[in-house]
């Protein structure tokens, strides 16, 4: 049976990938050890998500394995080597704030863990597609110095010299910038993925995500702003906005649309190709705009936010992904889930949990 290996299989993107590929007829080998609970506390544990996957998908096989453990990973790759067609690597330490607490842990997971998976793919299943979930944080704080950034009423916006609207493509430099410790560890993994594709001729795709989100996102204060904001509003809890007057902008992509990007790449893979992977301009929103939209869609009048003047180190004032490159390579792909529909799903998910 054709097989996929998915790391971080119980997380937002991993669980979506599992469902997507299982529906395509794949056996999914899930690798996860619920490190999210260690990073962000029991409330962010992915154990329940994994239990649902096991109960729902008969061809999902789970391994409680740490991606830093090369020997444990090797046993899995050896066991399934003849049938693996795709390796999707979503496991990570995902927070810049948390990374500064334990830089060695962050680097060992994000960089060394990725290196383990690349090497085992090369040794055991070199013809398979390898997909790496990178991040826009590889660009560091370079976006903050774009000349066209201006303050509007509810958001920061970036304009071109012709007063047109701007978005960020893959040509932005990743050098000479403050990445955060997390961003730097992801740069190391990102570049190594490119190298395995280009040097060894492997089918490797690198997807530099904007804000990845969806109803099953276990958002926490240190990671997953939109999910955590919805959780706070629906449950009437306080929320702290860190810097930039709450006008900082992010583009958000639903987990389904991101996984569909992975799938389109797999159907016609390239060697070490990099793509910015976000929701684009139509799915962009500032925190103030998000509060307004969530209140409208949830029928609430929540205003329990505190505005801190201190922004997170290396955080973006404004970031919107330019999707032109991926769309030119894979014209059949497009965003299918709007930001409003994503937020509706997230509200419904939180409300269901309250019952």
110-132: pLDDT as tens digits: 999 999 999 999 999 999 999 99
Average pLDDT over residues 163-185: 93
Taking residues 215-222, report their average pLDDT. 69
Instruction: Kindly report, residue by residue over 58-110, the tens digit of the pLDDT.
Output: 999 999 999 999 999 999 999 999 999 999 999 999 998 899 999 999 999 99
Q: What is the mean pLDDT of residues 292-318?
A: 93
Reply yes or no on whether the pLDDT at 179 is more than 80: yes
- Read off the pLDDT band of 222 (50, 70, 90): low
Strands 318-319 and 284-286 come out as: unpaired
**C-alpha 65: how far from chain center:** 20
The predicted-structure confidence for 316-331, as pLDDT tens digits, reads as follows 999 999 999 999 999 9
pLDDT of residue 180: 93
251 has pLDDT over 70? yes
Instruction: Report residue 223's pLDDT band, with 50, 70 and 90 as the boundaries.
Output: low
Which pLDDT value is given to residue 220? 64
Question: What is the biggest distance separating any 2 CA atoms in the chain, rounded to whole angstroms?
Answer: 57
Q: What is the mean pLDDT of the segment spanning 142-169?
A: 91
Pairing verdict, β 239-242 and 3-7 = unpaired
User: Does position 161 have pLDDT exceeding 90, yes or no?
Assistant: no
Contacts of 203 (CB under 8 A, 6+ apart): 127, 128, 129, 130, 197, 269, 270, 271
66-88: burial string, b at 16+ Cβ within 10 Å, e else: bbbeeebbeebbeebeeebebbb
User: What is the pLDDT at residue 165?
Assistant: 87
Q: What is the pLDDT of residue 197?
A: 98
pLDDT at residue 163 in the model: 65
Q: What is the pLDDT of residue 267?
A: 98
In a 10 Å sphere around its CB, with 0-12 CB exposed, 13-18 middle and 19+ buried, how is residue 135 labelled?
buried
Closest listed residue to residue 272, CA positions, set 131, 112, 127, 111:
131
Q: Which domains does the chain have, with CATH numbers?
A: 3-354 (3.40.50.720)
Output the pLDDT for position 313.
Answer: 81
For a pLDDT cut of 70, what percent of the chain falls above it?
97
Look at residue 312 in the predicted model and tell me its pLDDT. 83
The confidence score (pLDDT) of residue 120 equals 98
Q: According to the model, what pLDDT value does residue 44 have?
A: 83
**Using CA atoms, how far apart are residues 146 and 252, in angstroms rounded to an integer?**
20
Across the range 304-310, mean pLDDT stands at 93
Q: CA 204 to CA 196: how far, in whole Å?
A: 7
Terminal C-alpha separation, the chain: 40
Q: Taking 80 as the threshold, does the pLDDT of residue 37 lie above it?
A: yes
pLDDT bracket for residue 192 (50, 70, 90): very high
What is the mean predicted confidence (pLDDT) over 229-246?
94
pLDDT band of residue 162 (cuts 50, 70, 90) is low
What confidence score (pLDDT) does residue 216 get? 76
pLDDT reported for residue 218: 65
| pLDDT at 146 (0 to 100) | 94
């Amino acid at each position: 049976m054709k097989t996929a290996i998915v790391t971080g299989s119980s997380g937002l993107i991993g669980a979506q990938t599992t469902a997507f590929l299982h529906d395509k007829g794949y056996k999914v080998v899930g690798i996860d050890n619920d490190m999210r609970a260690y990073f962000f506390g029991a409330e962010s544990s992915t154990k329940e998500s994994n239990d649902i996957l096991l109960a729902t998908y008969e061809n999902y096989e789970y391994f409680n394995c740490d991606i830093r453990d090369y020997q444990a990973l090797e046993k899995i790759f050896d066991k399934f080597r003849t049938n693996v067609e795709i390796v999707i690597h979503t496991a990570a330490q995902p927070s810049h704030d948390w990374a500064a607490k334990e830089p060695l842990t962050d680097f060992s997971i994000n960089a060394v863990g990725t290196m383990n998976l690349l090497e085992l793919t090369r040794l055991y299943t070199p013809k398979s597609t390898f997909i790496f979930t990178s991040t826009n944080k590889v660009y560091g704080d370079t976006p903050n110095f774009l000349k066209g950034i201006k303050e509007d009423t509810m958001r920061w916006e970036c304009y071109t010299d012709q007063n047109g609207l701007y978005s960020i493509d893959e040509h932005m430099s990743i050098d000479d910038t403050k990445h955060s410790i997390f961003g730097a560890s992801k740069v190391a993994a990102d570049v190594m993925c490119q190298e395995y594709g280009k040097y060894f001729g492997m089918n490797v795709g690198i997807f530099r995500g904007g804000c990845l989100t969806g109803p099953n996102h276990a958002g926490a204060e240190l990671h997953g702003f939109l999910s955590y904001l919805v959780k706070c509003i629906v449950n009437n809890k306080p929320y702290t906005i860190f810097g930039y007057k709450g006008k900082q902008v992010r583009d958000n992509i639903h987990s389904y649309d991101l996984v569909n990007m992975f799938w389109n790449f797999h159907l016609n893979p390239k060697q070490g190709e990099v793509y910015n992977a976000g929701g684009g301009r139509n799915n962009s929103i500032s925190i103030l705009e998000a509060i307004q939209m969530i209140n409208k869609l949830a029928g609430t009048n929540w205003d329990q936010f505190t505005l801190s003047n201190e922004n997170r180190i290396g955080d973006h004032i404004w970031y919107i992904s330019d999707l032109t490159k991926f769309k030119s390579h894979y014209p059949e792909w497009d965003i299918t889930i709007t930001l409003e529909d994503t937020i509706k799903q997230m509200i419904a998910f939180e409300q269901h949990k309250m019952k």
